[in-house]
Structure 1
């Protein structure tokens, strides 16, 4: 085990911009080599940034087997839930919007709450958990809805988040503007039987956030702090709420890059953190089973993406888990390699916003892992 441990509250910045001194640069190269990476990994990231192929990068952290081996923090214009923040110099203590990476964090929170018996299991009828909407529960076309359909985004209800999040016709924005967000999410027109097709839906996650809050008796951010953040030593940077005061389970969380990396590490460690059980093992096992196809070569399960990437060190592809957010926010995990990568970008609502973090993951991190 080499590099620097994730358990330290303030992670040392190993990456670009802080390694100018030859001795420190040589130390970083030696750490990378010991971790099984090409020793010029940092230089390759720097070249990608200089070339313009990697756009809008605010932060990149890479860890292997719980040790940080690469860190880069940049500078650029940023925003929080659409509100400009101006030019920001990023660093290990600077929080950043996670946007829809929040969904995957909520997936872990649901598993923790389920382990405590506070929320219904995936097989439970969904509308039965919202007795205030008896008229919707009486609709035969909705009676097959299960909690699992919200967890896997297979509710079969019309939902369109393909529009920019600046467009009020975007379904998540329309939900935020609705008088009752939960009725809005549940009374969309039925397009497919539940479980048949994957449709990206912030509404599904809003429903899960409500179940967590109702079942635990705590607002979602408070439960997250007690059940997940405090055990990992995380101090959240905020959780945006809608006009109705309800924290957004779909996109509202702000964390630092090191804190997001810790969340990835607890997943890689089977739900354990410094000898303490944080996330139930059974939940993570279910999360890793093949999920519903998303239509673009990925699968989806329990609010996490599932993909695969070629790794030279393994001589073939290996599966990875991903949490994706608008603007290029990413958390990538490859259990077989003990790898975690957190990435923040400022490419909100831009076409091809996912290209930059995916190129860093595939062409720099995985392509330069030389030892299994």
Structure 2
């Protein structure tokens, strides 16, 4: 059983600082900028936990300065994608989704005109690994700019047609391209296959079993949950997700997500960087790293969201690290977040 929120090591009864004292002070001083929370779990128990005030947004709007604490919901942005992948794995195990190798277009019979041979090669597993092969750009222009592919998708009269009619640039399954479109399609397939809206399915299959009582999934103007980035959670509940994944899908002696799916989701399905030694990889909506920021390298995988939201899972240390932050417009947001993990790994020994 994971014990999240009971932190014997967070306050020392003596004058001796905890191992995380320097990291906490650097985040409080602003040396590590705009960190809102840090939560460190090892062996399912809380080693460190702190919260800071900081400027935040709620799906692109307000609320401004927030005094974050253990009960404060925080945008997790693209961590939502990893949650969708976990839900998809549950649907696969329940046979609502029967085959990852069937064409994606089989789930969208209304687009009969798009059933060309090249588009019929796009499979569900290509969505999960973001190797769909269509033209897509979320990197060169900011979100909110209509030239950004995800923004254009959200503005389109029919978002699924918009995605599925994009030009094909590479054979499906061969080239990674980060894409909220893949998540949007997965969520639509999941909803059609289960007959249950995404947020309701999450409540049944994840939030209920994990005892997550406070969460929000933002919806678009049509009332559809924004699959790629709309979720808000507390850091402790982010920790529950990480701990459940670390424990091969189990939580409190219940198999919430099939262990085989956790193994698949956190296995390498696509290279995102050319460096075979220290480059990043991608699983099923989880990022994979060989962990070269420390010596010796310590592999981890993570769910990551824009602005510095992170759930890191480090199996060799039996470790989960959660960070929330407000670095939405900073080009170095990933570097800032990763510096927190590097500091944690420096003080948390292997089991």
5 Å-filtered alignment, 1:247-326, equals 247-295=225-273, 297-309=279-291, 316-326=296-306
5 Å-filtered alignment, 1:90-109, equals 90-109=68-87
Counterpart of 2:128 in structure 1 is: 151
- Determine if the alignment matches structure 1 residue 365 to structure 2 residue 347: no
Where does structure 1 lack aligned partners over 5 or more consecutive residues?
Answer: 30-39
**CA distances 1:286-321 after superposition (whole Å, capped 9, x unpaired):** 123222001271111111011122597xx7223211
5 Å-filtered alignment, 1:80-95, equals 80-95=58-73
- Determine if the alignment matches structure 1 residue 23 to structure 2 residue 13: yes
Provide the aligned C-alpha RMSD in A. Answer: 1.9
Pick one of 104, 109, 129 that aligns with 1:126: 104
TM-score, structure 1 length as denominator? 0.88
**Contact 2:310 2:324 survives alignment (8 Å):** yes
**Contact 1:96 1:237 survives alignment (8 Å):** no
**Contact 2:97 2:193 survives alignment (8 Å):** yes
TM-score, structure 2 length as denominator? 0.93
Counterpart of 1:203 in structure 2 is: 181
> Take 2:168 and 2:293, find their aligned partners in 1: how far apart are those partners?
41
> Take 1:235 and 1:174, find their aligned partners in 2: how far apart are those partners?
33
Distance 1:236 1:171, change over 3 A: farther
**Contact 2:132 2:173 survives alignment (8 Å):** yes
**Contact 1:291 1:306 survives alignment (8 Å):** no
> Take 1:50 and 1:199, find their aligned partners in 2: how far apart are those partners?
36
SS in 2 for 1:327: coil
> Take 2:180 and 2:268, find their aligned partners in 1: how far apart are those partners?
21
**Contact 1:59 1:345 survives alignment (8 Å):** yes
- Determine if the alignment matches structure 1 residue 49 to structure 2 residue 20: no
> Take 1:203 and 1:319, find their aligned partners in 2: how far apart are those partners?
28
SS in 2 for 1:265: helix
**Contact 2:317 2:349 survives alignment (8 Å):** no
**Contact 1:15 1:42 survives alignment (8 Å):** no
Pick one of 200, 203, 206 that aligns with 1:222: 200
1:7 Cα deviation after fit: 4.3
> Take 2:100 and 2:87, find their aligned partners in 1: how far apart are those partners?
14
Kindly tell me the number of residue pairs found equivalent between the two proteins.
Answer: 346
> Take 1:335 and 1:66, find their aligned partners in 2: how far apart are those partners?
12
Distance 1:230 1:24, change over 3 A: farther
Counterpart of 1:355 in structure 2 is: 335
SS in 1 for 2:209: helix
Pick one of 199, 205, 211 that aligns with 1:233: 211
> Take 2:336 and 2:325, find their aligned partners in 1: how far apart are those partners?
8
SS in 1 for 2:171: coil
5 Å-filtered alignment, 1:52-67, equals 52-67=30-45
Higher mean displacement: 121-130 or 106-115: 121-130
Give the ranges of 4+ consecutive aligned residues of structure 1 lying more than 4 Å apart after TM superposition: 12-16
1:50 Cα deviation after fit: 5.1
> Take 1:99 and 1:43, find their aligned partners in 2: how far apart are those partners?
28
